[in-house]
Amino acid sequence: MADKPEVALDRTQVKKAVQALQAFLQTKSTKDSLLLDDTQHISLLFTLWTIPKVAQTIRIPLPHGQRTDSEEVCLFTRDEPNMTSEQTQRFYKRLLEERGVKNITEIIPYKVLKTEYKPFEAKRRLLGNFDMFLSDDRIRRLLPSHLGKHFYQRKKEPLCVNLQSKHLARDIQSVIQGTYLKVTNKGSCCMARVGHSSMTADEVTENIETAVQTIMAKIRMKGPVMKIIHLKSQSSVALPIFTSDLKHISVLQQAEKDAETPKKKRGKAKRHAKKKQQGDTKQTDATTEGKEEEEIPQLVPIETPTKKPKLEKPLKKQQLGKAPKPAAVKKGRKAQGKPKKTSGKVKRKGLKVK
């Protein structure tokens, strides 16, 4: 598959979209002038050609800060040995002041997070009180079990910071004023903040160009990646600033064919092996039949036994009565006949009676 092509943004077109969006937000803010804070976030909506196989979080440093000074940031720190929670809090406040970090609103040690923010309502209040959360990278693996799923559902999970860095102020500033893009493997759309409505059009345009270049360089996908890029705010429609060429469709179709061909080849090989096996079995059957025909000798026909005559079943009356006499006795009696009655003269053999 070919390498991912670069996304060439038209700077004039991007600036026109930013100006149109700012004009819309300005008219909306005049209508809703009762609101105390009318600043809105400006974000980029990315639509990918395919769904990524692996989820990824891309950090994007921006040339101009995309957060206002009024946003509050909370920092979770580890528990320093041989110190109480208050001493740990004072220790890190002093450290941040010495390094020139001024954007952190509150510091919460890990022990305080476990004890005071254990109830569900306390976690909800903590989530609503701050716009952004940072954490010491030494305790990042311990935080998910104590924060709960609401921090991650609202995309306010803490971002890691190395508090032992020599350039602590620069690192924290790049994390706070930068942005990040969460690429998930559950869909083809993802969003990243690049500014707010109080920024100038040139600043937002520079942030957009930097964000797109960083994403294309760090995203773990091959081939054509970006399909459409939109610019939008919290209350506006999405304005397209980049649309991919249709020539990428042929590249994707070819990639799908290349991915499917090994499966087809495997299927053909299996069918070919099956047919060959069937042919071999037929051939072996034919050879065995030929051998059997050669080996079987000619047999002499055997006389079939004559069937015995079926005996007639005697009737029920005959079965209940006396058994019939044999036929020879009947014939003898018929031949002899019964002796005729004579009128006083009886002839016997050898005797004469007067």
Q: Which domain holds residue 163?
A: 67-177
Residue 63 DSSP code: S
Question: What's the confidence (pLDDT) of residue 256?
Answer: 64
| Residue 11 included in any domain | yes
Say yes or no: 140 and 230 in one domain: no
Asked if 66 and 180 touch (Cβ cutoff 8 Å), the reply is no
Question: Which among 227, 255, 283 is the end of a domain?
Answer: 255
Query: For residue 2, what pLDDT band results from cuts at 50, 70 and 90?
Result: very low
- Residue-wise pLDDT for 161-177, tens only, equals 999 888 898 889 888 88
Say yes or no: 23 and 41 in one domain: yes
- Residue-wise pLDDT for 330-342, tens only, equals 555 554 555 555 5
| Residue 351 included in any domain | no
Say yes or no: 171 and 76 in one domain: yes
What is the Cα gyration radius of the chain?
Answer: 52
**DSSP letters along 149-210, please?**
THHHHTT-PPEEE-TT-TTHHHHHHHHHHSEEEEE-SS-SEEEEEEEETTS-HHHHHHHHHH
- Residue-wise pLDDT for 119-132, tens only, equals 889 998 999 899 88
| Residue 102 included in any domain | yes
| Residue 241 included in any domain | yes
Asked if 155 and 131 touch (Cβ cutoff 8 Å), the reply is no
Say yes or no: 170 and 102 in one domain: yes
Who wins on pLDDT, 322 or 76?
Answer: 76
User: How many domains does one find in the chain?
Assistant: 2
- Residue-wise pLDDT for 232-279, tens only, equals 998 888 999 998 876 666 655 666 666 666 555 555 566 666 666 666
Say yes or no: 20 and 100 in one domain: no
* Helix count and strand count (H, E) for the chain: 11, 10
Say yes or no: 78 and 41 in one domain: no
| Residue 322 included in any domain | no
- Residue-wise pLDDT for 8-55, tens only, equals 888 999 999 999 999 998 887 666 554 445 678 899 999 998 888 888
**CB-CB neighbours of 304 under 10 Å:** 6
Who wins on pLDDT, 300 or 63?
Answer: 63
Check which CATH number belongs to the domain holding 15 and give it.
3.30.190
Say yes or no: 46 and 131 in one domain: no
| Residue 48 included in any domain | yes
Question: What's the confidence (pLDDT) of residue 8?
Answer: 82
Question: What's the confidence (pLDDT) of residue 313?
Answer: 58
Residue 351 DSSP code: B
Say yes or no: 96 and 187 in one domain: no
Say yes or no: 173 and 78 in one domain: yes
- The crossing angle, in degrees rounded to 10, of helices 11-31 and 201-218 is 120
Segment 131-141 shows an average pLDDT of 90
Say yes or no: 36 and 82 in one domain: no
Q: CA nearest 109: which of 86, 132, 81?
A: 86
Say yes or no: 134 and 187 in one domain: no
- Strand 159-161, strand 41-48: pairing: unpaired
User: At 314, is the secondary structure helix, strand, or coil?
Assistant: coil
Say yes or no: 188 and 87 in one domain: no
Check which CATH number belongs to the domain holding 114 and give it.
3.40.50.790
pLDDT at 322 exceeding the cut of 80: no
